[in-house]
Chains A and B, each alone.
Chain A
Amino acid sequence: MKFGVVVFPGSNCDRDLIHVLEKVLQQEVVVLWHKEKKLPDFNRHDCIMLPGGFSYGDYLRSGAIARFSPIMNAVVEFANSGGYVWGICNGFQILCEAGLLPGALLRNINQQFICKNIYITPADVASPLSHSLNPGSAYKIPIAHAEGRYYADQKTLSRLQQNKQIIFQYCDEYGQVNETGNPNGSQLNIAGICNETRNVFGMMPHPERASEEMLGNTDGKLLFDSFISYADALEVDVIDDLLR
């Protein structure tokens, strides 16, 4: 599989992401400028990543303008055809604005930009991002956002729960999902969700900032490892089927 990292004007976590994918995880990475209209040579075993940052200065609403960048039509098409799309922080906001994920990210309940390590726990281990994680364990990963309070109406929330689309919830350091562990007031402590078909993911925490020993935290790498092993195994299955 390979990764495509989209760079919008105002993206600022793109380099970190590319570094971790290439240098730490030894993955093939294609950097995609937002003006491009096509995703060259990507198939549904590949993953398009929307990095964190402040695309278009967060004008109007976070992600609202990036969602109309030329490349986004191709990203939506790619997602609808089953390709993996993973948005982190501003990338999550863009995916919600684009309608690829339900709900919205509102201003943090305390009105402040929060930049610190928090804990998340997998709410479900059926998703590619969490399948090799331990349910009930707390993973320490930093957040850095002012608009990260997940909001959706009650109907949408029940649907997310029923379909097990909530991937990560904020928790305390012991893995308990409670108010103490919720940094921004997100409904149901939601830190990350996926779409119904489990190929589009969005999360506010930054695993790419917690993937190297040198940075003192490698919990984020476990998410990438989980995803890559899931996607690689699926790809091998498909190739086996074709050869059979």
Chain B
Amino acid sequence: MTYIAEVKVMPLKELLDPQGKAVLNGLKNLGIDTITEVRIGKHLHLKVEAEDVEKAKTIVENACRKLLANPVMEYFEIEVHE
């Protein structure tokens, strides 16, 4: 069965995200000053072959730990659906 996994990889909360900060400044310059924080991460869209949702999730978690995210600087969240 083919599942779709949406993976969000974000810089750790305690980390300064200079890219997000630069974008926030850009928004302010545009006059959009009600946005008070920007943090920028990655969104990965994966197709996974697995027997069921749980197994698909395990596969993606393993992939995140080994390659897709670096726990020193990032955390990840996974959503799996058909």
Query: Which residues from chain A sit less than 8 Å from chain B, CB to CB?
Result: 60-61, 64-65, 68, 96-97, 102-104, 106-111, 151-153, 185
Contacts and interface: CB of A to CB of B under 8 A. Distances in A.
A111 B72 contact: no
A61 B72 contact: no
B22 interface: yes
B16 A61 contact: no
Contacts of B22: 111
A103 B71 CA distance: 10
Contact of A104 (B16, B18, B73): B73
B58 interface: no
A109 B73 contact: no
Interface of B: 15-16, 18-19, 22, 67-68, 70, 72-73
B73 A64 contact: no
A152 B15 CA distance: 10
A104 B70 contact: yes
10 contacts: A65-B67, A102-B72, A106-B15, A106-B73, A107-B18, A110-B18, A111-B18, A151-B15, A151-B72, A153-B72
B43 to A, nearest CB: 13
A64 B18 contact: no
Contact of B19 (A64, A103, A111, A151): A111
B25 to A, nearest CB: 11
Contacts of B72: 96, 102-104, 151-153
A103 B22 CA distance: 24
A31 to B, nearest CB: 27
With a 10 A CB-CB cut-off, give which of B16, B19, B22 has the most chain A CB atoms. Answer: B16
B16 A64 contact: no
Contacts of A108: 18
Nearest to A65: B67
A60 B68 contact: yes
A109 B67 contact: no
Contacts of A68: 67
